[in-house]
Amino acid sequence: MAAERKIRVLIIDDSAIVRKVLAEALASEPDIDVVGTAPDPFVARDKILSLRPDVLTLDIEMPRMDGLTFLKKLMRIHPLPVIVISSLAQSSSQAAIEALQSGAVDVLAKPGGPYSVGELKQDLPHKVRAAAAARVANPRAQPAAPQHAAPLVLSGASSSTVIAIGASTGGTEAIREVLTGLPANMPGIVIVQHIPPVFSEAFANRLNDLCRLRVKEAADGDRVTAGLALIAPGNFHMKLRRMGAEYRVAIQNGPRVCYQRPSVDVLFESVAEAAKGDAIGAILTGMGSDGAEGLLKMKRAGARTVAQDEASCVVFGMPREAIRLGAADRVVPLGRLAGELAALSTAVAR
């Protein structure tokens, strides 16, 4: 039997040290082959044509042409799965979020500060495999927040309904599409997106600028209230707790679950316990199985559950596992998920 073809990776970064660290992080992976490196987009352009990589890692800040400009050109002319490797500086993290909007499939922090080389070696191979499986297309122009969504019956912080959403690869744009389609008086929403620290705050701030809902990175003890969406901070688990008549979130450290922190399973399992039949769960695009077992627990507790369909997923991993387990009541295209969540919120409130 012929050996399976390895995933071919091209590393693009102006730092020779970072190129070496990234290559070493992938060197021992039997299914991944670093076919080349490039110090800037001009060298990368020629190597893409000659080496035919399956996945690119791309620095944001480079001489001659920055990574974001190169990414936008690449996605127009020769779309490929791209993992953005960015520093944790505020300007770089904002550019990384823009890169995800522009077609990159994932983002990873450069090692340094709170993010170690050891963590990079754990995370990068997983992200490369997810990127290699991703469905890449020319990114659509970002729509303005729609102005025609019908208001819901539900309103006010006294609602006992809570919506939990989980996503991974391709999820930043999927979550953006869902949240911008929702009216301002939705029940409280809690979200886990697999994303590194600092980037999660930039992601939440970007959504807050686009949505009718208020969106923020969650802090320990935050109340879950109508009209508010809370994004789990990178590198921390988020759990839902019921305290009397209200919900609050707990932000915690702890071991990775399904190789992830934050983990969708950790959130969904806590929602199943705290909210039971007053909850709605949605699992979106992503590699692996994180969230599938948690969504099943939500369903068994009485929650309404939804999975994104294969055709609209960047990676149909997490939703597929949830569907396989029988955890999803309905399978819905991304473009209909906002309407589905709004309809379910009204139904649960009755």
pLDDT of residue 151: 43
Domains 7-132 and 162-349 share a fold: yes
Please report, for residues 79, 152, 182, 347, the alpha-carbon distance to residue 350 in angstroms, rounded to integers and kept in the order given. 46, 12, 19, 5
Domain range annotation of the chain:
7-132, 162-349
Class of domain 7-132: alpha beta
pLDDT of residue 152: 42
Q: State the architecture of 162-349 in CATH terms.
A: 3-Layer(aba) Sandwich (3.40)
Report residues of the chain scoring pLDDT below 50: 1-2, 141-158
Beta pairing class for 223-224 and 246-252: antiparallel
The residues annotated as belonging to the active site are 168, 194, 290
Give me the sheet containing 246-252, strands edge to edge. 223-224, 246-252, 237-243
pLDDT of residue 213: 95
pLDDT tens by residue, 263-288: 999 999 999 999 999 999 999 999 99
How far is 242 from 238, CA to CA, in rounded Å? 13
pLDDT of residue 245: 87
How far is 100 from 85, CA to CA, in rounded Å? 12
The pTM assigned to this predicted structure is 0.91
